[in-house]
Amino acid sequence: QVELQQSGPGLVKASQTLSLSCAISGDSVSGNSVTWNWIRQSPSRGLEWLGRTYYRSKWFYDYAVSVKSRITFDPDTSMNQFSLHLNSVTPEDTAIYYCVRVGPRGSGSFDIWGQGTMVTVSS
């Protein structure tokens, strides 16, 4: 079965870069019928979709407007994983971060979730 394993620091200083990785087992980061997403959750913002990356003969990236100027996703086919990099963080970026798959079904539903990483931004 498909599993996502997240890794990365739980504490980041303000103005620095938050980086998390998501290792995929049971599927391929370059699969042509899936997308790979990052979602965060906080009491103030609820569940917030940050963006996605996917491969359709080339890599595509869609980012939420709220973070577009600060975020990049980095798929790595050799490691079969994808990473999130969010720069210039502030305490408002404190949240639980999830990597999530949209499966091949075509409904756009988030069917596989990583375990979540609680990230605290210290001021």
Partner 1 sequence: DIQMTQSPSSLSASVGDRVTITCRASQSVSTYLNWYQQKPGKAPKLLIYAASSLQSGVPSRFSGSGSGTDFTLSISSLQPEDFATYFCHQSYSTPFTFGPGTKVHIK
- Edge-first strand order for the sheet with 18-25 is 3-7, 18-25, 81-86, 71-76
Tell me the closest approach of the beta carbon of residue 89 to partner 1, in angstroms.
Answer: 20
The residues in 45-104 that bind partner 1, with binding defined as CB under 8 A, are: 46-49, 52, 62, 64-65, 98, 102
Structure tokens at 44: 């103030």
Structure tokens at 85: 């990099």
The residues in 15-54 that bind partner 1, with binding defined as CB under 8 A, are: 37, 46-49, 52
Q: Are 55 and 35 in contact (CB under 8 A)?
A: no
Place of tokens 């091949």: 104
Q: Are 102 and 111 in contact (CB under 8 A)?
A: yes
Tell me the closest approach of the beta carbon of residue 108 to partner 1, in angstroms.
Answer: 3
Looking at 24-32, 53-61, 84-92, 112-120, which segment touches partner 1 (CB under 8 A)?
Answer: 112-120
Nearer to partner 1, 75 or 114 (CB): 114
Tell me the closest approach of the beta carbon of residue 43 to partner 1, in angstroms.
Answer: 11
Which sign does the torsion angle of CA 8, 5, 49, 51 carry? positive
Q: Which residues bind partner 1 (CB under 8 A)?
A: 37, 46-49, 52, 62, 64-65, 98, 102, 105, 107-111, 113-116
